Structure formats: C-alpha cells, structure tokens
C-alpha cells in the first residue's frame, strides 16, 4: 500500500525508517520530510497544515494510509477534514479528531478530563481574564514553586514555573493579557510536582491499547537540565527507574481510565497517546497528554520496536489493536540531538554538515536538514540531527551515540554531553 507520513522532523525520519521496512509498504511519501527521509521515501513539498494540499497529494499518489506526526494539524482538525470529505472515504488516518486532540491542545480540557476520570495529576484551577481577581487570590493561597500553563499550544513555551507568589501574579496577568496570544486566554495554575519525568506511548484504536517502549527525554538546552526549554535534546529507552511495578500502576491508574474517558466521551481516537508522567516517590502523575509521538523519544522508541510498525498502524486504524502483537528489542537505545548554535534562540541555517559518512554503529535521524542546490546536506532548523544507538545498557548506547556525534560537524553545532545524567 501507499503510505503518507505528515511531518519533517527526527520523529518522522525514525517512523519512515520503520515504515519502509514493512513488507506491506509499497511506496512511502513524507510531507514535507527532510534530507534523511528522502533515503526511504519520496518527499512531497506539502505543508501538513494545508489540508487541501494534503488532500491533493493523497489523491494523486493513491495513498491508502495517512499517519500524522505533529500535533498542530490534529488540533486544527485534519482528521475531521478527512472524515468529512467524500473523496477521502476509505482512506485510513492515524491521529485523533480535533475534539480528542484537545487532550493536548487545551490544558484546561486535559485537566478537566483527568479530574472526571480520576486520573492522578497535579491539583489545579484555571482562570480567564474575567476571573483574574480570583486567580490572584488563588495564588495567595499557594506555596511556591507555582506552575502556570497557557491553555493552548504555545510551541513548548507556555509553561512557566515561578518561585515567588508576586512573580506568579505578574506572570498570570501577562499571560491573561495576551503574552501567548489566544493560547493564554485561559491559564491553568497547577501545584508543583517534585519527581523524575518519563514518557509513555500508547497505540490505540480508541478501545484497546498497546504500550510502546518507555522513554525519557531531556528538554532543557543546558547541562544538568538548566536553561531554556527546547524541543528535546536527547532520549533514553528504557529509563531504569520505570520498573514493572511502576508500569502496572501507569496502566491501572492512568492508561485504562484514559481509554475509559475516550470511550465515555465518544472521542474518535485512532492514534498515539503520549503521556508525560512524573514519578513522585514512586507514584505516577500525569504532567501532560500529547496526541502524537514525542521527539526525540520516537527515535529511541522506534529503534526498539522490532515488530512491523505499519501493521500496527493498520490495526489502530481498523480497530484491531486487541489482536496486535508488539515485539520490543531487549537492548537499550539512546539518542543525542545535535542542534544549531544559538538554538533555542535565533540561529543560522545553511551550514554544511560533514562527517555523516564516518558514522559507524549508530543511526542518524535527520530533523532540520535539507539539500542545497548542489545536493549537499545543510542545516535547515534548530534541531538538526539525532544520533541513536543500541547498547546492552543505556550508558553503552549513549557512549556510542557520543562517539559518532563527535565525528559529525557543522559550523556552530552543539549538543548536550550529559543525556541520562539523572538515571
Ligand atoms: P508541559 O508542557 O505540560 O509538559 O510542561 C513542560 C514542563 O514543565 C514539563 O516537562 C515539566 O518539566 C514541567 N512541569 C509541568 N507541569 C509541572 C508540574 N505540575 N510540576 C512540576 N513540573 C511541571
Ligand atoms: N519530547 C517532548 C515532545 O515531543 O513534546
């Protein structure tokens, strides 16, 4: 069958790698893709947020399965667009409806959902400009640190953690008067949870589920998890502190009630649920839901998913997850992300990437790369490459990724040298 994958990051490169290995995959297209995906797929110059352009690509390439990588098209309703279009009937789509994608697209919706279905998460209240005075009073009753979250999608910048009630009040006022545009018209004020985070990925058809390899990502730019947030600087699968006992709690207390909520609310959810969790003294709490896979967790997760990923996607689309089998590689995987100098602030593009051919024993997934006019690979984004390796331990996997990252160079390149430091 012909498959279209939407997106163009390291996550999509890793997915394209696994999809292309499936005997069920005749032709793979990625929109827009990057220099790495072109190795296994045909890149299409289509923006996933341009639904009519996606529709035209689907029809002209006889696509029978579409997999949506990023959240934005989902939150904007691409699944609903497909469902409503006469010409697209029968084309399978992986990704939730806009209503279901509110689990990621609206923090207030997600919190209310968790409260309704008894899913452990930080205590909270949410406020709008009309209830600002109550919000300020509420802050007086809190003990710092205080977590403020813009309700809507804010490109990973909408969460602010403050150590002072006065600063939190100033931030609440700024957010409610448009600091993040429409995304902060509503603000969730949350209790701070102190613990260690991890990422659980659930493949579902809306009824049944399978749990993919567990991962941990490293979001901050600086060593020791300091400095501003990024899209993600590295990942490890499997983080050793997430033991069988913890996963049993996650399934019972979090995944199963989430699926129950999806069913009770008749949410149309055939896709991935990425649950951002925090372990507080051995008890799991939800930090956030995402309606897609994580990046750079997917690079480590796909490395360990030995069973046919395309087959799993078809089982999700066709409501047959109950029959799905998943084979997870017992080896550990680790990913180191190489970024442009200056990222997550302003950075330059178009830097020549050298040394890729010298890499041995690791996989290099591309994110912000493109081919220049003479066909050389150049940088084209903040996060540029993800170097993923296997090992008997995650430390072994990491040292191989670092060994290969040292062979790759582009002007200004930067990566964190301490991925896995807290494990
Ligand atoms: P989110 O966008 O909700 O994942 O939040 C971004 C980051 O902020 C998370 O990865 C956590 O590191 C941190 N964070 C969010 N909510 C909380 C919380 N309630 N307690 C502690 N840290 C939090
Ligand atoms: N790595 C976190 C994310 O994809 O949102």
By CB atoms closer than 10 A (0-12, 13-18, 19+), residue 8 is buried
In a 13 Å sphere around the CA of 170, the CA atoms on its Cβ side amount to 6
Consecutive H or E run containing 230: none
Question: Which residue's alpha carbon is at the smallest distance from atom 2 of ligand 2?
Answer: 294
**Rounded (5°) CA angle 212-213-219:** 110
Two tokens at 353?
A: 């990437």
280: Cβ below 6 Å to ligand 1?
no
290: Cβ below 6 Å to ligand 2?
yes
Provide the pLDDT for residue 157: 79
Residue 258 phi, psi dihedral angles, 5° rounding: -65, -45
Pocket test for ligand 1, best of 120, 149, 157, 159 (most atoms within 8 A of CB): 159
The residue among 119, 276, 295, 297 whose CA lies nearest residue 197 is 276
Question: Which residue's alpha carbon is at the smallest distance from atom 7 of ligand 1?
Answer: 159
122: Cβ below 6 Å to ligand 1?
yes
Question: Which residue's alpha carbon is at the smallest distance from atom 6 of ligand 1?
Answer: 159
- Yes or no: say if 126 and 186 are a contact pair by the CB < 8 Å rule: yes
Of all ligands present, the nearest one to the C-alpha of 220 is 1
Domains of the chain: 2-89 (3.40.50.20), 123-191 (3.30.1490.20), 196-405 (3.30.470.20)
pLDDT tens for each residue of 393-419: 999 999 999 999 999 999 999 999 999
- Yes or no: say if 95 and 82 are a contact pair by the CB < 8 Å rule: no
Q: How far is it, in rounded angstroms, from Cα 176 to Cα 132?
A: 8
User: Does residue 155 register a pLDDT over 90?
Assistant: no
Provide the pLDDT for residue 154: 84
CA of 90 to the centre of ligand 2 (A): 31
Q: Quote the distance between the C-alpha of residue 308 and its chain's center.
A: 20
pTM check: above 0.85 = yes
Provide the pLDDT for residue 66: 98
The residue among 390, 372, 370 whose CA lies nearest residue 380 is 370
- Yes or no: say if 285 and 120 are a contact pair by the CB < 8 Å rule: yes
Mean pLDDT on 371-385: 95
Pocket test for ligand 2, best of 15, 231, 382 (most atoms within 8 A of CB): 231
CA of 99 to the centre of ligand 2 (A): 21
Provide the pLDDT for residue 176: 94
Q: Which atom of ligand 1 is nearest to the CA of 122?
A: 19
Provide the pLDDT for residue 129: 93
Q: Residue 153: which pLDDT band, with cuts at 50, 70 and 90? A: confident
Question: Which residue's alpha carbon is at the smallest distance from atom 3 of ligand 2?
Answer: 294
Strand partners, 28: 3
Of all ligands present, the nearest one to the C-alpha of 274 is 2
Q: How far is it, in rounded angstroms, from Cα 419 to Cα 423?
A: 9
CA of 395 to the centre of ligand 1 (A): 26
pLDDT tens for each residue of 4-62: 999 999 999 999 999 999 999 999 999 999 999 999 999 999 999 999 999 999 999 99
CA of 195 to the centre of ligand 1 (A): 11
Consecutive H or E run containing 153: none
Q: How far is it, in rounded angstroms, from Cα 15 to Cα 29?
A: 12
Of all ligands present, the nearest one to the C-alpha of 285 is 1
> Given the DSSP bridges, would you call strands 92-94 and 65-68 parallel, antiparallel or unpaired?
parallel
CA of 159 to the centre of ligand 1 (A): 7
pLDDT tens for each residue of 75-111: 999 999 999 999 999 999 999 999 999 999 999 999 9
CA of 260 to the centre of ligand 1 (A): 24
Q: Quote the distance between the C-alpha of residue 390 and its chain's center.
A: 21
User: Does residue 181 register a pLDDT over 90?
Assistant: no
Mean pLDDT on 285-311: 98
Of all ligands present, the nearest one to the C-alpha of 216 is 2
Q: Residue 168: which pLDDT band, with cuts at 50, 70 and 90? A: very high
Mean pLDDT on 311-338: 98
287: Cβ below 6 Å to ligand 1?
yes
Provide the pLDDT for residue 366: 97
The residue among 250, 307, 260 whose CA lies nearest residue 284 is 250
Mean pLDDT on 217-243: 95
**Rounded (5°) CA angle 253-254-256:** 85
User: Does residue 169 register a pLDDT over 80?
Assistant: yes
CA of 134 to the centre of ligand 2 (A): 32
């Amino acid at each position: 069958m012909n498959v279209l994958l939407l997106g163009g990051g390291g996550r999509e490169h890793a997915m394209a790698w696994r999809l292309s290995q499936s005997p069920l995959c005749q032709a793979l297209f990625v929109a827009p893709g990057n220099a790495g995906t072109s190795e296994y797929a045909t890149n299409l110059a289509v923006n996933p947020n341009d639904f009519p352009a996606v529709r035209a690509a689907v029809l002209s390439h006889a696509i029978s399965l579409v997999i949506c990588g990023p959240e934005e098209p989902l939150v904007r309703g691409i699944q609903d667009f497909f469902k409503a279009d006469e010409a697209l009937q029968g084309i399978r789509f992986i990704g939730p409806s806009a209503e279901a994608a509110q689990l990621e697209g609206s923090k207030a919706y997600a919190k209310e959902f968790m409260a309704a279905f008894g899913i452990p998460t930080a205590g909270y209240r949410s406020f709008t400009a009309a209830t600002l005075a109550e919000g300020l009073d509420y802050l007086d009753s809190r003990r710092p640190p205080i977590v403020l979250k813009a309700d809507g999608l804010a490109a990973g910048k909408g969460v602010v953690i403050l150590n002072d009630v006065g600063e939190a009040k100033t931030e609440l006022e700024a957010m409610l008067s448009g600091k993040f545009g429409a995304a902060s018209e509503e603000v969730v004020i949350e209790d701070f949870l102190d613990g260690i985070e991890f990422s659980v990925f659930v493949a579902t058809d809306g009824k049944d589920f399978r749990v993919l390899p567990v991962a941990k990502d490293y979001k901050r730019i600086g060593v020791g998890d300091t400095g501003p947030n990024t899209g993600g600087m590295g990942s490890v699968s499997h983080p050793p502190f997430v033991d069988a006992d913890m996963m049993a709690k996650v399934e019972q207390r979090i995944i199963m009630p989430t699926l129950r909520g999806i069913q009770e609310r008749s949410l149309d959810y055939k896709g991935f649920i990425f649950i951002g969790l925090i372990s507080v003294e051995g008890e799991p709490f939800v930090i956030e839901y995402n309606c897609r896979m994580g990046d750079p967790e997917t690079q480590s997760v796909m490395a360990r998913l030995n069973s046919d990923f395309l087959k799993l996607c078809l089982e999700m689309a066709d409501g047959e997850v109950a029959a799905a089998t998943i084979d997870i590689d017992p080896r550990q995987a680790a990913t180191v992300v190489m970024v442009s100098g200056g990222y997550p602030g302003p950075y330059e593009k178009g830097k020549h990437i050298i040394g890729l051919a010298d890499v041995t024993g690791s996989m290099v997934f591309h994110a912000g790369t493109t081919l220049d006019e003479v066909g050389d690979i150049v940088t084209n984004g903040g996060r540029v490459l993800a170097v993923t390796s296997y090992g008997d331990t995650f430390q072994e996997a990491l040292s191989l990724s670092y060994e290969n990252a040292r062979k790759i160079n582009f002007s200004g390149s930067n990566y964190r040298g301490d991925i896995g430091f807290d494990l």
